[in-house]
Each structure stands twice: as structure tokens, then as C-alpha cells.
Amino acid sequence: MASLLPFSTSSSLPRNSRPPPTTPTPPSSAAARPSRFRLLFARAAARRDPELAPAPAPQAETPTEQPAAPAAEERRSLAVRTGELFLGLAALLVRGAGAGAGRGGAAVEEVEARDGVVWEQRPEDVEAERRRRELTSPGFSFSAAGLLFPYHLGAAQCLMDRGYITERTPLAGSSAGAIICAVIASGNTMQDALQVTKVLADDCRSKGTAFRLGAVLRDVLDKFLPDDLHIRCNGRIRVAITQLSWRPRGLLVDQFDSKEDVINAVITSSFIPGYLAPRPATFFRNRLCIDGGLTLFMPPTSAEETVRICAFPASRLGLQGIGISPDCNPENRASPRQLFNWALEPAEDEVLDRLYELGYLDASIWAEQNSAELIAQNNQPLPAD
């Protein structure tokens, strides 16, 4: 198993800090050769990064000496390959459409005009949100991340410790980012969520991830999240979903009827076709939908200003204006290829702990570079609706 490299900094880390796992001997070039679908993401994420350039397969001198296909590669399921293809396509779309100023940070009205987003907001909530927007800034938007969920947990914990995220802070997210929004709004601690993530990862490592992750995730969320989750989330979190019609369109949801409705929304937001379940799409409120990261990688919040958090190195995806990402501390980090692997197949617990620590550290660096006035804005009382 590949491991995260230690970062060179003297900054203190959150609870449960531990020395990084030792780096194992690199596998043979044949065993390490990525599939052609994975290279879509590698090429999109690392344009000129020599480390991520696809290496040619080793050539034997005679036909009898051709190496056999690696056993690990043979065992790779069609579902995982489908997930790789989908994330590779999403990465290319993010680079092509998200490199401009603030694709995920723009207000809903701007996103609607530019990208044709379907905005599901009740008329009676519009004026209340307009007043709220002036007093609860910044909001935080969490990117799609797959199983890199602990990175978002660590970043969220730091922002809560520093006072940037309070009970009123507007949140938005896509895929794994939508799940972290629901977890924050639920009132559960990030450490408890990390332990639950390890339970899910252990289940997937022992029984498989593809085709069954959706059912396992639903069961975990149903047990972990409170019954009044929808009340805590209404008007505060935005869940990004991709609606399929004649062309994919972003769908933003911020009102929920029940706990089950919230869980349905975040699972739909995480629905990688053919990976989360053995079907090409899913239904949400009678709409045919897939993963929200395809159209709204980091959706806007209801705040006047949105700080975006990306679990992947934003510069490798061609994104600008990202507040918190591995770019905050780029030295001695896991490569985009490693992160991509862990996004689809659960890493070991030591790596999950390390991802949490790195998310916390990156958010700490961002907080040190930003004014404390942002905290004061979030502490102002909201007007009565």
C-alpha cells in the first residue's frame, strides 16, 4: 500500500496525530501500470508533471518472455474502471470549465445564467436567504472527493476550532463534499465521523467497494445521523446533483422533508454511474440523476463569499481561487495518482488518519493567512424571519 509522505512543517496537528506510515518499496513497473481510464485523470490533473506521465509497458526481448498481466489488474472490476472513466471525464470538464474566476464560488444567479443550473428553492425562502447572506460570510463549499472524505473532515475540524464554521455558517458540497455538509450540520464531531469512515472503509476492504458502496453508505449514514437532520440542514446546506435530461445540468437542493430525504440527496450527489450501484443512474425526486461533481464540483453557498475546499491539488486541475487544498502545503505530499487511487478504493486506517491531519493542516495555513474579521461576521445574530 502506498503511503503519504511526511510534510516538512513545525505546525501543530489536531488530536490523534501520529507519525506517518513508512513508505514501502515501490512496486514493479508492470504492477504499478495504471489503466488507460485512470490516465485520463492523471493527464488532466498533472499536465506537465513528469511523475504522472504514463510510462510505457516493459518490453520483453522475445515473445516467450512477455510478462503476464498482473493479478491485481485482472481482479479490477468493470465497476471500478467505470468509476475511473467517470472521474477522468469529470477532471477534464473541471479543467475546461472551471479554470476561470470562481465557478464554484459564484452566486447562484451567476451560475444559473452561465451553466443552466436548476435551482430548487421555495419562493418564501428567497427573501430570508437574501437577508441571511449579508450576515453569514464566508460560507464553505466542499469539493467532490470520493473516499478522500477524511481530508474534508480534518479541514472542517480546523475551521470549527478557529471559529470560521459555526452553527449558522452556510455550507455547500458535491459528492463527498455534500456528505461532509450533512455531517457538520448534524452536530456530530468530526472525530466520530472519522471513526465511522474507518468502519465503512474496513467493510469495503473486506467485502468490496464497487456495486455495493451506495448501500453500505446509506446504512452508515442512517445510523450515524440524527432523526432531525432535515431541520438542521434546511436553508443551511446546499447539495449539488447532476440532473440528466437532453444534457447534464446542475441541480441545487437546500430544502428537505425528512432525514431520509437528506440522505437520498447526498447519496444521489455521490452517485458515480456503475460504481456506487450496478446501474447507470439513479432517481431523486422523480429526476434521473448522477454525481453532482460532474456539473458543480464546488457549488456556491448562500453566503456573499464562498471559500472553496478541494481534496485534490487544485492547481493540477487547472482551478483558480481555491481557498483550501493540498496546494496550501505542496511539499512532501501524496501524488495526485495516489489520491485518485484512494478516492475509489479505501485506504488503510493509517492513511485515513493522515488524510485527516493533512486536511487540518491545510485549513490551518489558510486560516493564518486570512483576516479574523471573517470570524466576527459569522458571530453576528441573524434577523428574525
**Which residue numbers are catalytic?**
175, 291
SS3 state at 336: helix
* Angle (nearest 5°) at CA 4 between 362 and 343: 80
Q: Is the CA virtual torsion 342, 345, 346, 348 positive or negative?
A: negative
Amino acid at 265: A
Alpha carbon distances (Å) from 346 to 94, 146, 201, 282:
24, 9, 5, 23
Q: Cβ atoms within 10 A of the Cβ of 330, count?
A: 13
Q: Which residues pair with 244 in a beta bridge?
A: 248
Q: Which of 107, 133, 125 is nearest to 378 (CA)?
A: 133
For residue 149, which phi and psi values (nearest 5 degrees)? Answer: -50, -40
Residue ranges of E strands in 90-245: 118-120, 139-142, 171-174, 237-244
Q: Report the distance separating Cα 237 and Cα 215, nearest Å.
A: 23
How far from each other are the two terminal CA atoms of the chain, in whole angstroms? 53
282: enclosing H helix or E strand: strand 282-284
Q: Which of 265, 184, 253, 172 is nearest to 218 (CA)?
A: 265
